[in-house]
């Protein structure tokens, strides 16, 4: 019986370790994959490591993450240790109240803390960037240090410092030579926890950062918008560094016990002092990097520009671009509402309409954008900026159905959006995890406008989605649909036209079509904010992005349809041959562009979408 129990325990341990470390092992293996696929290993290659080394943005993010983690750990460890020692000498009621307050940031959801800090920095007029991120990390790390150190302090004999002072020690010596050595395990545990929390944090960092300052978590998050295997290479390097640190932390103490001479201690102190000085120098360089140059702040979606274009524009105009990215139009709006300022935004159509109504944009002086003559006529005329005063098109496209030509019967394509309810393909379908796009599909399938505010029509669309969910068993997917369709995991998916272009280039067995019932024609455009401090430079940037060479490089990198006529035609015949089939059919009167939704209507759609996914 004992032998069986032992075997079961060993199996349980192996299973636990496999659960913890198998995803890490998979990440490391796919960092050497020769293709972009995150699910199929096609051959060994160092391609992604080479691309990682050439990525200046990642290098800056590593620097920000490491320096902020080290500095915040040192400061929060000192503050937390002093506070824990002080609490041990306080009255009971004060100690309990303080510890309760200390637990609030620990128990508080990160998003609440992030928004609170963002509002605090905005209200006091503190410019978001490196220092706001550092202060935020100190603020949320210190409570963890207090929680780790305080139990160790409470376990000490309270008479120890007094005994030390009776023997001739000063209060400082009693603290440093008696108390601190006896609670060092708690201090080290708190410091490690603080470092881990800081290095790993995303939510708080995202809301309190600005002016182009990003840590590793923000960079990785932006990379997940499209398939970017450099994430695997970066993760593998971080894992290897952690392993080396763990090995070193176990080997070095053994070696120092064997050789603990006074000169070794002096050498270690010199090395520590030099390291601290280097950190200070790096901070000074970071703070003064943009001095003497004009700075243009651009806010765009993640993975939505050719990075080389940013460098080229900076060199041509002797300026610095502070380039930040957002997850969604709503996230962008939240940052703007918090008081964050930018010069150029690149939002979607309905959000541009909202910003125009709220007076948040300034009109473009088209005389300063001569390359606007290169734009396609069909992208210049639009509903979200009917007078063509505020927005210059950046990319455009549609929403349609991606399907496997070897599985889907061509005759079934005549069903349009009703194909997504054809039980022949039950369980073989990805629906886009988007409230507005999913309701657009249902509304168009029913013959309604996708911008309807009629509650009866919205209810009909909800019933359509519920019926589809119950009969088709769809998977609601986000950007992960790209790799899944390339790998052939499903035969049908709702995707954006630009993603369809890229997916088909990787998997020729797929094709894309836009149902005749109509679809969403979307536009992402460049706009200049009302508070823009570099108006001339902003116009130069817009003009630069509409140059033929710049537009071609951008489309080639991102894969979406260019609004520049010559580039659109060139890509349709060249690198993205056939792309013309994946852009909106502007002759179809049933195609529409999303309009701004009033809060009550938006809330209705949100509530119904929650019900669709919850059941």
The mean pLDDT of 234-260, rounded to a whole number, is 72
- Which tokens belong to 36? 């972009």
Distance, in Å, from the CA atom of 443 to the CA atom of 517, rounded to the nearest integer, reads 9
Question: In the chain, what percentage of residues exceed pLDDT 70?
Answer: 87
Give the pairing of strands 361-362 and 319-326: unpaired
CATH of 399-521+595-614, one of 3.40.190.10, 2.40.240.10, 3.20.20.140, 2.60.40.10: 3.40.190.10
Among residues 420, 440, 223, 416, the alpha carbon closest in space to that of 349 is found at 440
- Determine the pLDDT at residue 545: 95
Task: Check whether 174 has a pLDDT greater than 90.
Answer: no
Residue 269 has pLDDT above 70, yes or no: no
Regarding beta strands 521-529 and 392-404, do their DSSP bridges make them parallel or antiparallel, or are they unpaired? antiparallel
Max avg pLDDT among 26-35, 239-248, 375-384, 527-536: 527-536
pLDDT above 50: residue 290: no
Is domain 294-395+526-582 annotated with CATH 3.40.190.10? yes
- What class is the 52-239 domain? mainly alpha
How does pLDDT run across 457-466, given as a tens digit for each residue?
Answer: 999 999 999 9
- Beta-strand relationship, 344-345 and 319-326: unpaired
280: pLDDT strictly greater than 70:
no
What's the whole-number average pLDDT of the chain? 83
Mean pLDDT of 398-416: 92
- State how far the Cα of 345 lies from the Cα of 118, in Å rounded to an integer: 20
Chain centroid to CA 189: how far? 29
Q: What is the mean pLDDT of residues 292-305?
A: 83
Per-residue model confidence as pLDDT tens digits over 76-135:
999 999 888 888 877 888 888 888 888 888 888 888 888 888 888 888 878 788 888 999
Confidence at residue 408, expressed as pLDDT on a 0 to 100 scale: 92
Identify which has the larger pLDDT, 157 or 384.
384
pLDDT (tens digit per residue) in 527-579: 999 989 899 999 999 999 999 999 999 988 887 888 998 888 777 665 555 44
Q: Closest by alpha carbon to 342, among 543, 119, 128, 545? A: 128
Task: Please write the tens of the pLDDT for every residue from 205-216.
Answer: 888 887 777 888
Is the separation of the CB atoms in 298 and 322 below 8 Å? yes
Average pLDDT over residues 509-524: 91
In the predicted model, what is the mean pLDDT of residues 13-37? 79
Q: What is the pTM of this model?
A: 0.69
What span, in angstroms and rounded, lies between the C-alpha atoms of 408 and 491?
7
In the predicted model, what is the mean pLDDT of residues 42-60? 78
The pLDDT of residue 507: 85
What is the b/e burial string over 544-577, where b = at least 16 CB atoms within 10 angstroms of the residue's CB?
A: bbbbeebbbbbbbebbbbbbbbebbebbbeeebe
Residues 6+ apart with CB under 8 A from 248: none
The domain locations on the chain are: 52-239, 294-395+526-582, 399-521+595-614
Q: For the ranges 354-363, 488-497, 507-516, 587-596, which has the lowest average pLDDT?
A: 587-596
Q: Do the domains 294-395+526-582 and 399-521+595-614 sit in the same CATH topology, yes or no?
A: yes
Segment 283-298 mean pLDDT = 61
pLDDT of the residue at 39:
67
Distances (CA, A) of 506 to 37, 227, 257, 500, 576: 9, 12, 57, 10, 11
pLDDT for res 273: 55
Higher pLDDT, 394 or 86: 394
The dihedral built from the CA positions of residue 389, 552, 290 and 49, taken in this order, carries a sign that is positive
Identify the pLDDT of residue 285. Answer: 47
The total of other beta-carbon atoms located within 10 Å of residue 401's CB is 23
């Amino acid at each position: 019986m004992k032998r069986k129990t032992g075997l079961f325990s060993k199996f349980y341990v192996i299973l636990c370790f496999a659960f913890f470390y198998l995803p890490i092992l998979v990440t490391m293996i796919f960092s050497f994959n020769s293709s972009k696929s995150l699910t199929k290993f096609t051959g060994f290659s160092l391609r992604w490591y080479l691309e990682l080394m050439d990525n200046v943005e990642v290098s800056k993010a590593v620097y920000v993450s490491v320096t902020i983690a080290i500095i915040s750990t040192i400061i929060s460890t000192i503050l937390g240790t002093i506070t824990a020692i002080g609490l041990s000498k306080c009255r009971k009621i004060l100690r309990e109240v303080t510890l309760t307050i200390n637990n609030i940031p620990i128990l508080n959801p990160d998003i609440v803390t992030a928004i609170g800090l963002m509002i605090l920095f905005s209200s006091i007029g503190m410019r978001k960037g490196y220092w706001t991120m550092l202060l935020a990390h100190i603020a949320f790390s210190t409570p963890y240090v207090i929680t780790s150190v305080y139990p160790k302090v409470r376990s000490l004999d309270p008479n120890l410092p007094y005994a030390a002072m009776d023997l001739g020690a000063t209060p400082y010596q009693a603290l440093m030579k008696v108390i601190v050595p006896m609670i060092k395990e708690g201090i080290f545990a708190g410091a490690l926890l603080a470092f881990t929390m800081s290095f790993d944090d995303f939510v708080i960092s995202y809301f309190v950062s600005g002016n182009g300052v990003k840590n590793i978590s923000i960079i990785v998050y932006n990379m997940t918008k499209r398939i970017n295997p450099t994430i695997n290479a970066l993760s593998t390097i971080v894992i290897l560094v952690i392993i080396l640190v763990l090995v070193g932390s176990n080997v070095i103490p053994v070696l120092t016990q064997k050789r603990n001479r006074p000169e070794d201690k002096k050498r270690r102190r010199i090395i520590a002092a030099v390291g601290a000085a280097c950190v200070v120098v790096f901070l000074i360089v970071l703070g003064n990097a943009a001095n003497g140059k004009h700075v243009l702040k651009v806010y765009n979606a993640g993975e939505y520009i050719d990075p080389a274009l940013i460098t080229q524009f900076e060199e041509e105009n002797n300026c610095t671009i502070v380039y930040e990215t957002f997850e969604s139009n709503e996230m962008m709006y939240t940052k703007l509402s918090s008081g964050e300022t930018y010069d150029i935004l690149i939002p979607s159509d309905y959000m541009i309409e909202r910003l125009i109504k709220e007076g948040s944009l300034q009109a473009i002086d088209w005389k300063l954008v001569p390359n606007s003559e290169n734009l396609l006529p069909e992208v210049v005329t639009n509903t979200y900026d009917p007078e063509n005063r505020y927005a210059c098109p950046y990319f455009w496209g549609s929403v349609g159905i991606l399907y496997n030509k070897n599985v889907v019967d061509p005759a079934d394509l005549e069903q349009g959006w009703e194909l997504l309810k054809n039980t022949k393909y039950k369980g073989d379908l990805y629906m886009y995890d988007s409230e507005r796009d999913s309701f657009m599909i249902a509304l168009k399938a029913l013959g309604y406008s996708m911008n309807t505010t009629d509650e009866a029509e919205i209810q009909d669309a909800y019933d359509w989605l519920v019926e589809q969910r119950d009969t088709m068993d769809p998977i609601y997917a986000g950007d992960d649909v790209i790799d899944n369709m390339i790998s052939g995991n499903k035969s049908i998916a709702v995707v954006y036209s630009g993603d369809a272009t890229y997916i088909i280039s990787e998997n020729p067995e797929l094709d894309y079509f836009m149902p005749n019932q109509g679809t969403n024609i979307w536009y992402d455009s460049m706009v200049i904010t009302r508070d823009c401090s570099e108006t001339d430079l902003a116009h130069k940037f817009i003009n630069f992005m509409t140059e033929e060479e710049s537009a071609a490089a951008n489309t080639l990198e991102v894969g979406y349809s260019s609004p520049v006529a010559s580039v659109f035609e060139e890509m349709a015949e060249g690198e993205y041959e056939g792309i013309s089939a994946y852009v909106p059919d502007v002759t179809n009167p049933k195609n529409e562009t999303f309009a701004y939704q009033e809060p009550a209507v938006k809330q209705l759609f949100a509530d119904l979408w929650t019900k669709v996914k919850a059941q």
